[in-house]
Amino acid sequence: MTIRARIFRSSKRHFDCQRSDTKELVTATALATLLKEDHIVVGDWVELIPPPIQGQEWVIEKVLERSNFIFRNLPRVQKKNVIASNVDVLLVVTSAGTPAYKRGLIDRYLVRSDYWNIPAYVIFNKMDLYDEKEFDITFEAERLKWLNVECFEVSAEDGNYKQKYLSQGFRELSDKLKGKTAILVGHSGVGKSRLITELSEGKIQLLSGETNRANKGSHTTTWAELVDGEKFALIDSPGIRSMSLSDLTKEELIMSFSDIQEFATKCKFSTCNHEENNKGCFFQKLDKSKREDQLILSRLDSYKRVLEEVSDIPDWLKKPQDN
Ligand SMILES: Nc1nc2c(ncn2[C@@H]2O[C@H](COP(=O)(O)OP(=O)(O)O)[C@@H](O)[C@H]2O)c(=O)[nH]1
Ligand SMILES: [Mg+2]
Ligand SMILES: [Zn+2]
């Protein structure tokens, strides 16, 4: 008889799994055939064979089919590195203090969220440090609303922080996560680990900074850890310095910028690249002093930046319809 469990943590050979029946954490090894790269990741549901004699090891016999998985694109080695699986929501964590807020990164994660088919929430963290001169959170929130993405205003450091600018804060976030598995993504230092501690009401303590952890496991490329709060399961992921989208084709990219795609149909020429001197370009006629037009232009800007990246794919790697 096997026992169902979920992977909480992994190193090269050993996996911490939570039994579904007793919720107890056990350490297991895996059948050799399952030890290949990316075969077992945090978030996976597995079947465990109990130790035949007490004191011997639990063994992972089978990995159940994943409902989804998220990965890092490693363009230099042309590889995708799976980080976690079976995720319900992507929490894109940004900082309103240091490190500085980066809109571009949010748009990149939204492309991924689309591609992975996992909804995203944007978290404005470190709001205790927010300075209106640095960026306009109201504009950012309007922009996200327009994209149908929910956002939350929090401070992971200050439990008493009450939201001032957005309709949703810490409590709303905590409520929305009930029963879900969420993965926190964002730059290093934005407060992902701290936010997990706060969401678990202090029951879960994670180390700040990745270095301590990275040295501990034998996995050098990445680590992610699933922690089980009473109400939700959260996956802490390492800070990703750059979110490369170079594995996407232009077609895939424009699909994730469906707003831009729709506006582009209003350009006079279907080949329009929306640059300044293009005659009949819809975007060039927009009024930069209008809020809504600013939103559209900010999206066009994000789109163009990522497009530069995907255009670099060598022809032989592109899908046939690209040419
Ligand atoms: N002022 C302030 N500091 C925070 C907040 N959230 C996290 N920090 C601090 O920012 C640093 C980085 O946090 P950490 O959780 O390790 O970020 P991670 O790299 O995204 O996991 C730590 O020193 C935290 O104490 C916040 O809301 N306000
Ligand atoms: Mg961290
Ligand atoms: Zn145009």
Candidates 92, 154, 207, 208: which one to mutate for ligand 1, based on the most atoms within 8 Å of Cβ? 208
Q: How far apart are CA 143 and CA 262, in angstroms?
A: 16
Provide the pLDDT for residue 214: 45
Q: How far is the CA of 207 from the centre of ligand 1 (A)?
A: 11
Q: How far apart are CA 18 and CA 115, in angstroms?
A: 29
Provide the pLDDT for residue 312: 55
Provide the pLDDT for residue 139: 97
Provide the pLDDT for residue 50: 95
- How many DSSP H helices and E strands does the chain contain? 8, 13
- Helix or strand or coil: residue 273? coil
Dig out the tokens for 192 from the structure.
Answer: 């992902």
Measured in whole angstroms, the distance separating CA 168 from the mean position of its chain's CA atoms is: 20
For each successive 10 residues of the chain (323 residues), what is the average pLDDT? 94 90 95 85 96 91 96 84 94 96 94 95 98 97 96 95 97 96 94 92 69 42 76 86 84 92 94 90 96 96 90 53 42
Contact by Cβ (8 Å): 219, 213: no
Q: How far is the CA of 95 from the centre of ligand 2 (A)?
A: 13
Global pTM value:
0.90
Contact by Cβ (8 Å): 119, 113: yes
Look at residues 194, 183, 99, 122 and name the one whose alpha carbon lies nearest to residue 156: 194
Which residues on neighbouring strands pair with residue 3, listed in sequence order? 48
- Helix or strand or coil: residue 156? coil
- State the residue for tokens 């130790």: 51
Share in percent of the chain as helix, strand, coil (round to 5): 30, 25, 45
- Helix or strand or coil: residue 236? strand
* DSSP calls for 40-100: S-BT-EEEEEPPSSTTS-EEEEEEPPPS-EEEEEEGGGTEEEEEEES-SEEEEEEESSSSP
> Which phi-psi region, left, alpha or beta, contains residue 129 (left: φ > 0; alpha: ψ -120 to 50)?
alpha
∠ CA 236-88-67, rounded to 5°: 110
Our answer on whether the CB atom of 188 is closer than 6 Å to any ligand 1 atom is: yes
Look at residues 144, 238, 242, 204 and name the one whose alpha carbon lies nearest to residue 153: 144
| Structural domains of the chain ordered from first start | 3-63 (2.40.50.140), 69-236 (3.40.50.300), 250-322 (no CATH)
Our answer on whether the CB atom of 92 is closer than 6 Å to any ligand 1 atom is: no
Query: Relative to the alpha carbon of 239, which ligand is closest?
Result: 1
Q: How far apart are CA 59 and CA 48, in angstroms?
A: 6
Our answer on whether the CB atom of 128 is closer than 6 Å to any ligand 1 atom is: yes
Residues contacting residue 24 through CB under 8 Å, at least 6 positions apart: 18
Checking DSSP bridges between strand 15-19 and strand 58-63, what pairing results, if any?
Answer: unpaired
Q: Which atom of ligand 1 is nearest to the CA of 210?
A: 19
